[in-house]
Chains A and B, each alone.
Chain A
Amino acid sequence: GCSGSTEPAGSEDASAQSSASAETVGSESSGAASAAGNYPRGNGDDTLKIGFACMDMSNTFHATVAKYFEQECANRGIECMVLDDKFDGTTATENCQLICDSDCDVYVSVMGFMVGDTLSDICKEAGVLAIGMDQPIPDFPFFGADNVTAGYSAGEALAEAAIEKWGENPTIDLYIGLESLAGAEINDARMHEGMLEGIRSKVEVPDEIYVQCDVTNNDSQVAMRWVEDTINAHPEAEHILIGGFVDDSGQGAEAVIEKLGYQDKALIGTVDGSTLAINNFKNPDTAWVCSAALLPEMYGYYMLETLEPYLKGETDELPDSWNVPPVVITKDDYEQVLTDSIIYDDYQVG
């Protein structure tokens, strides 16, 4: 198989990279508040209250994060307010204000890549601790998926699958990147620094064969059209790699590969690790071989494990950055890997 989940080199590399970048963000602008743990710690009353601004509740990944986040808060007796940023900077700013107005102790948001400075300002003014989830909010700690690592390990796994299928040093004729340009920095980290570099660490992918497709809103239909049209425009391509920003793109790509009968000529790898990927892995014939699971179910757990003691004053140390460790799942190992990674009893694979 193309197991990449335990590949040490890539993941360590990338996680080091990302924590470094988060640290830089922290230290470069927070001048006075440089020491770890020197963050606001809430308004002093007994009950803890977290304001969670979900990036987009109509998006499976973020809706899942929100659901388990709420659940984890409930388990720990923390009050939780969930708002929907609707993938919109303007709404995010307003929601941030609303959360600060509502006497929350912590504000959590993914929208840092769009309106980070402003979110930071609002929270500082209100004396509320902000956490940049997946995307840093300047002067505040970072928590979340490590997109570079996730993309990198998915890329490696995809390349390994290619080697297994087409032999040592396979010539890749076409690489289709199903990307979300609206995701800006996330997209860069996951798809370029991550996935593309990951693939290139094992096989050669020259720039000329890289077709970047913007799958706006991560729409499976749009992905289908891009893949089919691009393959039609490269009829000579025998070895095709397809990388997907999320599983929705993989779903569309897989549909086209099956339609064109290209199972021998194409391989798909994505980042997400959602039920869409798992469902496809159940079928041995699919071209979709791997997906880096970001474990949205575990976000709440990992965040609160570190955050709760700090808020409760049990510790004065709050790291500048901590992560959810991504894992790569493949046809062979997805069940095992996921059951190992997700601690909830009610969680069932697929």
Chain B
Amino acid sequence: MEDVKANRIKGKRFHMTSAWSTFFVWIVICAIMAVLSPYFLSVKNFLSIAQYSAITGALAVGMTIVIVGGGIDISVGSVVTLVGMVLAAIMPASGSVPLMIIAALAIGVACGLANGLLVTKLNIVPFVVTLGTMEIFKGLAFLTTRGVNTPFNNLDFAAIGRGYSFGQIPNSFIIMLCMIVVGAFLLKMTPFGKKIFAVGSNATASKLAGINIKKIKLSTYIICGICAAIAGLISTSQNSAGLTNSGDGAELNAIAGAVLGGASLAGGSGSMVGTLIGVLLLNTITNGLNLLGVSSYWQLVAQGAILVFAVIVDSFKHKS
């Protein structure tokens, strides 16, 4: 009995989670940048990082939920573009901001629903489904304006992505933080979240436990679609235009953020706080390298190397 007690205490010893190791890397990067650039350590700069993290962050929230549920969605970048093009196209006809938001969310739901139904009803690998819909959504986006950038003037709408609240806090960051909080609540506190983890870890067992795995998976894709639509809103608003390339490559950033934050592509693990740190890490790197005026070729090398470095650091926790 004594043994058991002793063991129990040992069993509780501190384990570094992925989120923590990413946090550690983030701090290290921040420290290095602070030494290299006098402009790095300022409130203003961190608010700038915050603002530009918003789009990736919003995408990563949805992506984390899908990944935890054992899926993946690489069509999100195209959803961002699609939202931008459609909003820009209807903006002249309707300047109303709420209507814009509703339209964007409707697009997000529709895209998420399409992905989700294909994945669940037809039982197709999510990677292939979203690879296909990525092309389809992008094609549809270009068809709306025949591949032409479409600007608009709508100051109310621009405030979503560009404005501030509480002094100098960017609205876009506030939106992202809200999404993180809601996402964390959903994953951690609700039965729905518990079910997402269960489905992602072992779909067969979850099905036999009476969890409607199709419904859960479908919901994760819809949520992801909505998050992508919000990212599209922020991006369109920041750009004050529907731009043909606004969502290019966004999916990889979102996945990288989620995975850096501890989500496993095998499903069943991941956390919102981790994702937040992962996204901040990615954006801090870009910001620091920009401040230093590093040429974009070296930036590619540095970003790639840091990404690999972060996963290496993370792997040490598995070894110890």
Contact = CB atoms under 8 A, between A and B. Distances in A.
B243 interface: yes
A214 interface: yes
Given A60-B148, A232-B48, A248 B243 contact: yes
B26 interface: no
Contacts of B292: 233
B291 A232 contact: yes
B245 A275 contact: no
A149 interface: no
B235 A221 contact: yes
Nearest to A276: B151
Interface stretch (B10-18, B37-45, B114-122, B304-312): B37-45
B153 A60 contact: no
B162 A258 contact: yes
Contacts of A218: 245
Contacts, number: 109
A15 interface: no
Nearest to B163: A259
Interface in A214-229: 214, 216-221, 224-226, 228-229
Contacts of B146: 63, 67
Given A225-B287, A233-B291, A275 B240 contact: no
B287 A229 contact: yes
Interface string A52-70: 0000011110011001000
A255 B290 contact: no
A226 B290 contact: yes
A146 interface: no
Contacts of A258: 162
A63 B148 contact: yes
B147 interface: yes
Interface in B169-205: none
A229 B290 contact: yes
Given A233-B39, A283-B153, A64 B148 contact: yes
Contact of A60 (B44, B149, B248): B149
Most buried by B among A64, A181, A213, A220: A220
Nearest to A219: B245
Contact of B39 (A58, A224, A232, A279): A232
18 contacts: A60-B244, A181-B297, A216-B296, A218-B245, A219-B243, A225-B287, A228-B52, A229-B48, A230-B291, A232-B39, A248-B243, A251-B240, A255-B238, A255-B239, A259-B162, A274-B149, A275-B151, A279-B153
Interface of A: 57-60, 63-64, 67, 181, 211-214, 216-221, 224-226, 228-230, 232-233, 235, 247-248, 251-252, 255, 258-259, 274-276, 279-280, 282-283
Interface of B: 37, 39, 42, 44-45, 48, 52, 55, 138, 142, 146-153, 162, 235, 238-241, 243-246, 248, 286-287, 290-293, 295-297
